[in-house]
Amino acid sequence: MAQPLARLAILLSGRGSNMLALAEAVRTGTLRGLAEIAVVFSNDPAAPGLTAAAALGLPTASLASHGRKRVAFDEEVVEILNKYDINYVLLAGYMRVLSPAFVRAFAGRILNIHPADTHQHQGLHAYEWAFANQLAETKITVHLVDEGLDTGPILAQRVVNLRGAATLAEVQRRGLAVEHVLYAETLRDLLVDSLPAS
Ligand code: GAR
C-alpha cells in the first residue's frame, strides 16, 4: 500500500529560493510521492517567499514577529502549525532562533539548512564569512534543530568549491546551487529511512 505523504511546513523569512527548490522537488523531483507541502509560514507577512509560495498555489500563513517576545510568539506559531497536521518543519532562511518550547513541540522533526559547516560557523552571514576569509571551499549543512544555535546533529554536508569566486554574489550563486539540491535529497533520505520495511 502507498505510504501517506509526509506533511511539510516550510518556514522562511525572506526570498524563499530554498522553498521554491523544495516545492519543485515535491512536484516533479526528488520528493515526489514522498512529501507534500502543508503550509509555507513566515514571521514576516511581507516576505517575498510567501508571495512566491502563494503564486504556486501553496497554503500560506504568517504572523509578524516584529516587536514580539520570543516565547509568546513561538507559542502562537506552534498553534498555527498544529492546524496543518505537520510531520516535519523545514527551516528555509527562517531568521529566528527557536524557543525551547517550539523545538520540543516538533522534537527531532525540525530541519535547517545552513550555508556553512555548522562546526565552523553559526548564525547569520555565512557566505559573507566565507568570502571575507577567502575560503577555497565551504560546506553546506543540513541538520536537525535542537535548542542551540546551529548545534543540532548533522544529517548531510556537501562541499562548495569557491576557488576563483571573485565576488560575494558568485560565492552565493555557487552555494545556493548546492543548497537547492542538498535539502531535498537529505529529506528524501530521511523519509525513505523512516518507511516501514515492506
Ligand atoms: C539560505 O542561504 C539559507 O541557507 C540561509 O539563508 C538563505 C535563505 O535564502 N540560512 C541561514 O543563514 C540560517 N542560518 P532563501 O530565502 O533564498 O532560501
DSSP string, 116-167: S-TTT--SS-HHHHHHHTT-SEEEEEEEE--SSSS-SPEEEEEEEE-TT--S
Any domain includes 29: yes
Any domain includes 136: yes
At CA 42, angle to CA 126 and CA 92, rounded to 5? Answer: 35
At CA 73, angle to CA 70 and CA 75, rounded to 5? Answer: 105
- Model confidence at 162: pLDDT above 80: yes
Percent of the chain with pLDDT over 90: 95
User: Taking a C-beta distance cutoff of 8 angstroms, is the pair 175, 115 a contact?
Assistant: yes
Any domain includes 198: no
CATH of the domain at 107: 3.40.50.170
User: Taking a C-beta distance cutoff of 8 angstroms, is the pair 41, 7 a contact?
Assistant: no
- Residue 170 main-chain phi, psi, to 5 deg: -70, -40
Helix, strand, coil abundance in the chain, percent, nearest 5: 35, 20, 40
- Model confidence at 1: pLDDT above 70: no
Q: Whose CA is nearest to atom 1 of ligand 1?
A: 93
Any domain includes 66: yes
Expressed in angstroms and rounded, the spacing between residue 6 Cα and the centre of ligand 1 is 23
When divided into structural domains, the chain yields a total of: 1
What is the extent of the structural domain holding 21? 6-193
Q: What's the pLDDT tens digit per position in 103-147?
A: 999 999 999 999 999 999 999 999 999 999 999 999 999 999 999
> Of these residues, 114, 121, 143, 180, which one is catalytic?
114
User: Taking a C-beta distance cutoff of 8 angstroms, is the pair 130, 139 a contact?
Assistant: no
Any domain includes 88: yes
Which residues does a 6 A CB cutoff place in the pocket of ligand 1?
12, 14-18, 49, 92-93, 113-115, 124, 126, 176, 179
Task: Classify residue 195 as exposed, middle or buried by CB count within 10 Å of its CB (0-12, 13-18, 19+).
Answer: exposed
Residue carrying the nine cell digits 553559526: 122
Pocket probe mutation, ligand 1, options 18, 129, 145, max atoms within 8 Å of Cβ: 18
Mean pLDDT, range 6-22, rounded to an integer: 98
Pocket probe mutation, ligand 1, options 44, 128, 179, max atoms within 8 Å of Cβ: 179
Amino acid identity, residue 66?
H
Any domain includes 30: yes
Pocket probe mutation, ligand 1, options 11, 17, 182, max atoms within 8 Å of Cβ: 17
114 is catalytic: yes
Expressed in angstroms and rounded, the spacing between residue 3 Cα and the centre of ligand 1 is 31
Q: What's the pLDDT tens digit per position in 30-77?
A: 999 999 999 999 999 999 999 999 999 999 999 999 999 999 999 999
Q: Whose CA is nearest to atom 13 of ligand 1?
A: 114
Any domain includes 1: no
Any domain includes 42: yes
Look at residues 4, 11, 3 and name the one whose alpha carbon lies nearest to residue 145. 11
